[in-house]
Structure 1
Amino acid sequence: MNMNKILVMFLVVMTMFGGNLQAQSYKAQELKTKKITGTVLISEDKSPAIGATVIVKGTTNGSAVDFDGKFLITANEGDILLISSIGYVSQEIKVTQKSHYDILLKADNVALKEIAVIGYGVQERRDLTGAVTSINLEALEQPALSIDNALAGQVAGVQINSSSGAPGSATAITIRGITSLDGDNNPLFIIDGVPVYGVGSHSSTSFSQGSIAAVAIGGNSASGQIGANSEFERNPLANLNMDDIESIEILKDAYATAIYGSRGGAGVVLITTKRGKKGQPKVNLNISTLVAEPVGVPDVLNGDQYVDFYNAYEGPDKDGNYRFNKGLNTDWFDLATRTAITNNVSATVSAGTDKSTYFLSLSYLDQDSYVINNDFKRYTSRINYEYKSSEKFRFGNNLTFSYTDNNSLNSGSVYRNSILANPSISVKDEDGMYNFVENKQSQFNPIATAKESINYVRDSRLIGNLYAEYKALPWLTLRSEFGIDLMVSKAYNKNMAYEKIDREGNANQTNIQNMKYVFNNTATIYKELGEHVFNGVIGQSFETSDEDIVSISGEGFPTNDVLSISQADKPKVGQAVRREWAMMSFFARMNYRWLDKYMAGVTYRIDGSSRFNKNERYVGFPSFSLGWRFSKEQFMEAYTWVTDAKIRASLGFSGISGSGGYYGHQGQYILKENASKYGKTNILEVAQPSNPDLKWEKTKTLDIGLDLTLFGDKVQFTFDYYNKKSVDMLIQSSVPWYSGYSGQKQNLVDMTNKGVEFSLNTLNINKEFKWSTNFNIAKNTNEVTNLNIDGSYTPGGAETAYAFYQVGESATAWFLYDWHGVDPLTGNPLWRYSDGSISTTPPASIMGNATTDNKFVMGDRMPEFTGGITNVLSYRNFELNTMFAFSYGGKIMNGTRAELLTYSDQNYRNLSRDILDEWIIAGHKTDIPKRNNKSIVKTGFGDGKTDYTVSRKSDRFLEDGSFIRLKNISLTYRFNPERIRRIGLRSLAVYLKGSNLLTWTKYSGPDPEVSAFGSSAAYAGNDELTIPQQKSIQVGVKIGL
């Protein structure tokens, strides 16, 4: 080939290559000038991700997101866009032929969800070696009026039951079984570092030494008085606005709770409120309306059935004053109840700069009960502020003020008496005056009680803290904080005078002022030395409480319009009491991690309390823990589906300090006026003998747990086994009669709670349609292991009437006589004796003989299993949330049915329709005995009789309290942010929610979750015409500005 041909070929090839290079150059120039637009939104509420940045990866070419979440940037096709924002998971998007991209940022699990608040500090969740449960923040976003409602069924081992349906009433929250027989079994609540107690508990303002809620064993007294021994126990969480809460942590084992020493034995609930966030002010509004009615209603006789029954019962020769006439059918319950309406409005504002942040909130709740003239109003305000003066120093406050007005606390008696009232009489007579149900024992009209009496409790409460924090060294932070819980309360009751029954008006008033404050100083250490990481705290705490209680009463008022007790004919000071206690504490905790695999921790706290004698005043609470993240070991490398796996174990002590009362170790005296035994003079009488050896109740807990995270974050599994031993438990023991005392508090009982807990969180589908599930279940077994009294022990008092302690049995066991049904031949009740024989004669001991003969253990108040399952399903802008709670194995004493089967010629109450199935003729199979049977026994003098067929001392009314309940179901729709921004909104969501809509249970009473003794878990399982919970429908809207 000659040179000319080679040259021509070279020129042709170069021309083609050059043309291709030129084409590529032109194409590259075209791509470089391509404009990319889009939006960056927060996935949770579709609000603009203000502050987010969009950068072409590997370059300095970037753009900031504007206030509407929009961005504009130039990029090449094939470039990678990096979208990031503090607190959210960064995303990478490859540029394709599209010119517009919509990006949703999700909260960073490591930065947000995986940090757990623990006592006096925080720790990464993956490094926890104690049993700590964080409440899913999405659960808190579900519409709820109170925290306890939001928590029900969410946490394994935590049982939450409402004591009654009365607004603002107490909730029983039990963590891993009961830990005290005489004290409060509710956990310690800490709100932003401040301990908060309820009214009626031993560590707080207490109207009574016990925790008696809406009714007592016999039901509310007809008067419904509120005084120094009020029957109404308030909910310590009812003062909080749900929209203020950032996170909730539940500490369950001894390592987690030992940092709180003597108050951590029943568990600890840490509540952290929201802080301000850097950026422009964000306003959030939450407005809702709710309608409700009772979950169940007893079925009673109508007017004609009532007349037929009692006329036949009395016979034709009975006093004409107690003969009843047909023709009226007054539905007292319908008149005393209504469809309840609740309105709730909440507004929050959050903003901040590099130097300072703030969070403000206001809320108003107006909650009606379905019982007339019973409502609960709550006003709250909050300011959380923080100022950062330098990189080392910051200070701030978390303050909330609430005012609650609970009107008509006699709702329990109104509810009860509306069921028991005679339906054959009218509410008012022809002259417009109230008719009264005239029994030989009492006279009442529930409508008059509701409409004419005045009953209220008004509480003003300030809870908060001031703090300052200084970073002295890169690894050392010093913090001081002063917390306060100030409550001023006024309870007032006035019963009007009624000429028709010749009753004078009377009134009672109780004023309480209680101030608690706590002063904490801590030094927090966080130091990394290569593969060794140390995280600890050392500190001191001082807490004190000062309480003043004054109660006055009066009888005989000039008119019903006069409310001042000073104007009564007979004013009287009921009591004037001042109570004080204080506690000094020192504590330390150190957590250690090596190679991100091996963990250990030690905690120690010393508490000194004024509640105990100087010889028993101080006590130490040590705890230890170990953890092993075996997923980091080499032998796990093949199991790529295991994201994280950890075994942990802990052993430690905690306690209960308040069960001995304010002055449990000291002798206590009461002033008796006009003592008849001493010539009607005023005397001082010993109410309680001293016990200088009174000691702390202590709990030792062993916990072994397994935490697994599988398939990324799609499956999270937690398992715990625990063995909780409580020693030196206090009970009111009997003393020799010749001592002159009725009893003395002594440390006499030891018991154990053993159990297992299992929880499973799964992300089942994660596409445009999303589905996640939370399931938890727990089993707890209680046993009395030591009783320093010969034989068994049965305490006294209304709430302990069925309590029985015996080694080898549960402390919450039912100890009852065995009702063996009704003899179909004679209609007499049948009783089973301990020798196996069956008799129609009731056991002698049921008739007042103080023995345990012929009594049997008949199940347990506490359930065998508890749990819940939550499913969240979302598609585009819709989200459906369902939550079922379940309880299996607990027994309930159905005192409601017993009351409605109780009749006599002394008290003509209305009855259950079941009474129509009473035994009539031989061969009749029924559980209702004949009217005059062998278990109705003459007692005392005159015509007095006692009907032992309706006694709560037998198992006739003991029923299975197992249930499955649809606690909550909600449907939420979130509007498209692009559309709502056109009308000036940042976010908009509407929701519809139902609560307690469906219940599956064998229990024949209105509600398997109520308790006649409020938050006292040790005496749970009593239903004595207690106001049942409400089932409700709620509609609301959430607006972001």
Structure 2
Amino acid sequence: MKTTVNSLLFFLFLVPICIFGQTTLKGTVTEQSTSIPLPGVNVIIKGTSTGTATDFDGNYQINVKNGDVLVFSYVGYKSTEITYTGQLTLDVALEENAAQLNEVVIIGYGSTTKKDATGSVESITEKDFTKGNIVTPENLLSGRIAGVSITTSGAPGSGSQIKIRGGSSINASNDPLIIIDGLPIDNNGVSGSRGVLASINPNDIDSFSVLKDASATAIYGSRASNGVIIIVTKKGKSTFSATYDAQFSFGELTDRIDVFSASEFRQLVNSQPINGTTMNTSLLGAASTDWQNEIFRNTFSNQHNVSLQGALFKALPARFSFGVTNQQGALLTSKFERRNLSLALNPTFFDNHLKVNLNANLSYEDNRFGDSGQIGAAIHYDPTQPIYDPASPFGGYYQHRNGNILLLGTTNPVASLLQTNNTGDSNRTYGNLNFDYKFHFLPELRAVLNLGYDETEAKTINYTSTLVPTNDPVKGNSSRGFQTRTNKLLDGYLTYNKEFNKVRTELTAGYSYQQFTNSGSNTGNMRDPGSFPSTFADPNVVLIGFFGRANLTFLDKYLLTLTYRRDGTSRFSKDNQWGDFPAAAVAWNISDEDFLKDSKVISNLKLRAGYGITGQQAVNEKDIFLNRYRGGDANSQYQFNNQVINSLIASEINPNLKWEETATIEFGIDYGLFNERLSGSLNFFQKNSTDLLFTASVADGTNFSNSIIQNIGELQIQGIEYSLNADVVKQDDFNVNFNFNATFLDRKIKKLALGQDVRTGGIAGGTGNNIQLLREGEAPNSFSVFKQLYDVSGNPIEGAYVDLNGDNIINDDDRYLKESPGANVILGFQANIDYKNFDLAFNLRANLGNYVYNNVNSSNAQYERIQDNAVLANLPKSVLNTNFQRTSDVIISDIYLEDASFLKMDNITLGYTFNNITKDLKSIRLWAGVQNVFTITNYSGLDPEVFDGIDNLIYPRSRNVLVGANFKF
């Protein structure tokens, strides 16, 4: 299939542009009351699929003939129909009609309008996307939608942690289901890629729809507990246009972990005894090296995107795009490169009764992975030592050594990065072919068939120089890994639309089949005679679903939606394979009632209520219910007829494993005031997840492990969401728009296995330490710490804690729960300001009530850490605040738990548009901006936004200065 798609793309890109039509009508569409040009207005020849959309300045052009009826439509405005009579230009002014609320919102297996939506669904289109240095598509949503939090590390092309309404699970996945043009994708990536969305070009995305409550997501059944994100890519149009976008960014890290300089370190070593013993100062060097500066670099990155759209052979709406992204990582050697090629064909047949949509995408991703573990090594490494040593047998880099013998301790981080070359390449082919047929004999009935395909082939090469310092007999590493993931989809459904008197009916019923495969191999270290190649092939995962939905609208005011899905999965045993996921929602458009429909203040008011059940079946052990065996090691062999045979050891099994289920109830209000100058929503929800997929202990002798995945536990999440969109100023040449959203979350574990606490959250420093706890009645992953004691001067006393249970013994029974990593309040704010040809946009985010355990300090900021086995090591200067000596005595202290609430300005951009440059060049927009502008926080570490609340040196985020240009033809 990939060969066919490649050939088709190559051929179509060579088709001359001159095949597009010759008769062209031009014009400008404006707002009637203000004469402001309207971008994105749909201009369609009635009765056909031929159409276009106005550009940034409201201009359009379209091929027409006498007698054609042109339909001009735009969200919030009355549609206008005009018959073409041969004129060369046609300017149109649209009248605002906000009460129609006809904005199309994509939902599962169909679409609706904002007015008719009964569930909690939010749609974001291209004009509302978050701006800035956007490399992966999920960041277009950052800070834009209430209830959606996106955390991305600073690594180039890095994937993100996406949570909708705090997720729904504890041990199982909290990732939302992501659907691209009707194809649900696998959240499990391949080893050569940065993430499942890293291969997707954000420039190809037209809109996102985020489905949050169960009444909206239940039609996806077993995978919908964590919400659904539907991505729609850009489609072909009949009128020719072209764009070229270029972006360049210059990045710099603005902060470092504060450690001792070389001179300060010499003074520290000379003056600081460890456990009463003076340090060996002969280990000090004569250099002065800032190791963090040496492993980090300023970065340069660029993105280029070209798109063409128009009618091939005068009848086939098409769009082509090509994109290139090159991003340097702040960590030495790390980089991300991506090349994208996409094709969209959108023909219609049989007098517009059959619509065909083909979306084909190729992505080539090339990565070099810099070892982020060297960030910690740079903090530790002796600042009095040089980077290079010409006499060194380890490639000319300085290493702690005695002759050719490497001394035990941290190794040179610059050498570790430059002498290692770990790369990953992934080639991804994905897309879908959709047939939408409206029956000739019964036009109210549509049949839809959607075929989807997603395949990624990945290769990793891990190479370490033979000169890398080691005392092992095997020098260096050379290994290769190969992996292939495929995702095949077949969806088919029928939709019946009919109005009976004053009742509008939409009925949908369908079937879905999806199969996932994953296989690969690894050569092992080809330099090690004891290393052998290996292969793997996971059991195929098959998901089957039967689904139905009924939308009923009474008098255009009273709405009812009923949804049902029955899902089967191969992840569970035959007795537990099938699950049922129903949902129901009602809504009342109060603003259409007689007592409000003429209101000058309230232009829209809708009440919503919904309830539904969704599922979760994403466990790591896909075959946990099967009888499985693993090979024993060299100590688990036996001899038979002079032949040595490896033993087979049975693995754990749980044939009773079944769905994790989440029941959600929600009440919501959608509002619009002053003819939609102010609009938004207010939602109240409660999610209860039961039969949690949880790794828990089992009695000795009852299984082949002391812990297995079980359905034990219950989690409750309650929340409030609020959003506001405000057109503060709307004038001819001056517009100000604000978007604000707020989310309030309360998480609580209602039930655990046998009511027992479960320790989690492993940390660096010592062996087997955990800093978080799961406990009934508390928030998930709450921090479990000792309460620090202080002397009369307010200084912490090392190893002294409050005896909370009063038994005169300080042990784990005296640890208490203090806060959790999840924010209680999540805020987002975006502003767009246009003045004549200038445009200004910026984006703010805030988290309140989230706490972070500073594992950088807790595992490093103690004086005993100066002695790093046989060598010396640097320390964070925060040790001066505590004067702690031993890590093991203090690592669980609550002194390292910090309030990490923050306010961030993610980006700010300023642009200017030059219009009507030439006959063919419609406009040029030049812009500049800053990414990661500032962070306001009391957290003492590098960044308060960390994964899962434990800061053990995340990949730092650069501040980027951006410049770009957008050309429209």
Question: TM over 0.5, yes or no?
Answer: yes
Q: SS at 1:1032's partner residue?
A: strand
Cα distance in 2, alignment partners of residues 194 and 254 from structure 1? 20
User: Is the Cα contact below 8 Å between 2:450 and 2:490 reproduced in 1?
Assistant: yes
Question: What corresponds to 1:969 in structure 2?
Answer: 908
For 2:299 and 2:94, how far apart are their aligned partners in 1?
41
Aligned equivalent of 1:332:
291
Corresponding position of 1:341: 300
1:303 touches 1:330 (CA, 8 Å); kept in 2?
yes
Partner of 2:50: none
SS in 2 for 1:260: helix
- What secondary structure sits across from 1:459 in the alignment? strand
String of CA shifts for 1:350-408, please: whole Å, max 9, x gaps: 1137742111110000000111211000011111112212122232311111011111x
The answer on 1:661 being equivalent to 2:621 is yes
Q: Which amino acid aligns with 1:241?
A: N
CA contact (8 A) 2:481 2:520 kept: yes
Matched ranges for 1:112-131 at <5 A: 114-131=103-120
Query: Aligned-pair distance for 1:837?
Result: 6.5
Deviations 1:585-641 (A, max 9, x none): 100011110111100010000000000011110010000010111112223256332
Q: Per the alignment, do residues 779 and 426 of structure 1 end up closer, same or farther by CA in structure 2, a change over 3 Å counting?
A: same
Against the structure 1 CA distance between its residues 390 and 555, is the aligned structure 2 distance closer, same or farther, given a 3 Å change threshold?
closer
| Alignment-derived partner of residue 995 in structure 1 | 931
SS at 1:755's partner residue? Answer: strand
Asked if the contact 1:198–1:234 (Cα under 8 Å) also holds between the matched residues in 2, the reply is: no
Map 1:590-989 → 2, pairs under 5 A: 590-637=550-597, 639-659=599-619, 661-675=621-635, 682-687=646-651, 689-739=652-702, 741-767=705-731, 768-795=733-760, 801-821=770-790, 828-829=797-798, 831-835=800-804, 843-845=810-812, 853-902=813-862, 903=865, 905-907=867-869, 908-915=872-879, 917=880, 926-929=881-884, 931=885, 936=886, 947-949=888-890, 951=891, 953-977=892-916, 980-982=917-919, 984-989=920-925
Unaligned runs of 5+ in 2: 1-24, 46-57, 63-68, 83-88
In the TM superposition, residue 996 of structure 1 has moved relative to its aligned partner by 1.1
Q: Secondary structure of 1:414's match?
A: helix
**Quick one: which amino acid aligns to residue 122 of structure 2?**
T
Does the C-alpha gap of structure 1 residues 272 and 440 become closer, same or farther in structure 2, counting only changes over 3 Å? same
Amino acid at match of 2:514: E
SS at match of 1:774: strand
Tell me how far apart the structure 2 counterparts of residues 68 and 628 of structure 1 sit (CA, whole Å). Answer: 38
Opposite residue 963 of structure 1, the aligned amino acid is F
Which residue number corresponds to residue 489 of structure 2? 518
Residue of structure 1 aligned with 2:357, choices 393, 396, 416? 396
**In the aligned structure 2, how far is the partner of 1:305 from the partner of 1:500?**
28
> 2:135–2:157: 8 Å Cα contact kept in structure 1?
no
Matched position secondary structure for 2:533: strand
- SS class of match (1:238): coil
CA contact (8 A) 1:46 1:987 kept: no
Calculate the aligned-residue CA RMSD, in Å. Answer: 3.3
Q: Deviation at 1:482?
A: 1.0
CA gap of 1:825–1:286, structure 2 versus 1, over 3 A, is closer
* Offset from partner CA, 1:509-567 (integer Å, 9 cap, x none): 321111111100011121112211012311000011111021232164xxxxxxxxxxx
- TM-score, normalization: structure 2? 0.86
Report the alpha carbon displacement of residue 419 of structure 1 after superposing the two structures with TM.
2.4
How many residues end up aligned between the 2 structures? 888
Quick one: distance in 2 between partners of 1:185 and 1:793?
A: 19
Task: Give the Å deviation of 1:948.
Answer: 2.5
Structure 1 pair 637–385 and aligned structure 2 pair: CA distance change class (3 A): closer
Q: Is the 8 A contact 1:1010 1:1029 kept in 2?
A: no
Decide whether aligned partners of structure 1 residues 91 and 177 sit closer, same or farther in structure 2, where only a CA change above 3 A counts.
same
1:214 corresponding residue in structure 2: none
**Structure 1: any 5+ residue segments left out of the alignment?**
1-36, 54-66, 72-81, 94-99, 208-231, 557-567, 846-852, 918-925, 937-945, 1012-1019
Higher mean alpha-carbon deviation, 578-587 vs 857-866, is at: 578-587
Displacement, 1:998? 0.8
1:422/1:437 contact within 8 Å kept? no
2:169 aligned residue (180, 184, 189) = 180
Match of 1:149 among 139, 144, 163: 139
Deviation (angstroms), 1:145:
2.5
Query: Residues 170-192 of structure 1, C-alpha deviation per residue, up to 9 Å, x if partnerless?
Result: 21111111312222111010000
* 2:954 maps to 1:1026: yes
Residue matched to 1:376: 336
Counterpart secondary structure, 2:140: helix
Instruction: Please say if residues 599 and 627 of structure 1, whose CA atoms lie closer than 8 Å, have aligned partners that are also in contact.
Output: yes
The answer as to whether partners of 2:99 and 2:603 remain within 8 angstroms in 1 is no
Q: Deviations over 1:1002-1026 (max 9, x none)?
A: 1111111132xxxxxxxx1111011
Q: Return the letter of the residue paired with 1:718.
A: S
Q: Do the aligned partners of residues 913 and 672 (structure 1) sit closer, same or farther apart at CA in structure 2, a change above 3 Å counting? A: same
Q: Tell me, yes or no, if the aligned pair for 1:631 and 1:645 is still in contact at 8 Å.
A: yes
Mapped partners of 1:499, 1:644: distance in 2 = 68
1:976 to partner: Cα distance: 2.5
- CA contact under 8 A between 2:492 and 2:510: conserved in structure 1? yes
Query: Which residue of structure 1 lines up, in the alignment, with residue 420 of structure 2?
Result: 453
Return the letter of the residue paired with 1:745: I
Identity %: 26
CA–CA distance in structure 1, aligned partners of residues 470 and 748 of structure 2:
52
Taking the aligned partners of 2:273 and 2:525, their CA distance within structure 1 comes to: 39
Whether contact under 8 Å (1:547, 1:578) holds in the other structure is: yes
Assess if the C-alpha contact under 8 Å between 2:358 and 2:433 holds in 1.
yes
Contact 2:193 2:367 (8 Å CA) reproduced: no
2: CA distance, partners of 1:278 / 1:38: 14
Distance 2:158 2:802 in 1: 41
Cα gap change, 1:613/1:981 in structure 2, threshold over 3 Å: closer, same or farther?
A: same
Does the C-alpha gap of structure 1 residues 175 and 827 become closer, same or farther in structure 2, counting only changes over 3 Å? closer
Q: What residue in structure 1 maps to residue 514 of structure 2?
A: 543
Q: 1:412, CA displacement in angstroms?
A: 0.5
**d(CA) in 1 for partners of 2:497 and 2:230?**
22
Q: Distance in 2 between matches of 1:85 and 1:39?
A: 12
Could you tell me whether the CA contact under 8 Å between 2:290 and 2:383 is conserved in 1?
yes
Alignment TM-score, normalising by the size of structure 1: 0.80
Match of 1:265 among 202, 205, 225: 225
1:63-102 paired onto structure 2 within 5 Å:
85=72
Q: Which protein has the larger Cα radius of gyration, Structure 1 or Structure 2? A: 1
Change (3 A) 1:1003 1:682: same
Alpha-carbon distance change, 412 to 914 in structure 1, aligned in 2, over 3 angstroms: same
Contact 1:882 1:966 survives alignment (8 Å): yes
CA distance in 2, matches of 1:634, 1:68: 39
721-730 or 901-910, larger mean C-alpha shift: 901-910
Residues 102, 343 of structure 1: alpha-carbon distance in 2 compared, 3 angstrom cutoff: same
Decide whether the 8 Å contact of 2:460 with 2:482 is kept in 1. Answer: yes
Residues 316 and 873 (structure 1), Cα distance of their counterparts in 2 relative to 1, 3 Å cut = closer
Contact 2:857 2:896 in 1 (8 A): yes
1:471 aligns with 2:438: yes
**8 Å contact from structure 1 (residues 387, 395) kept in 2:** yes
| Amino acid of the structure 1 residue aligned with 2:700 | W
Question: 1:927–1:630: structure 2 CA closer, same or farther, 3 Å change rule?
Answer: same
Q: Deviations over 1:112-165 (max 9, x none)?
A: 971100001011111101000111432237343232222111111111111x21
* Higher RCO (C-alpha under 8 Å, 6+ residues apart): 1
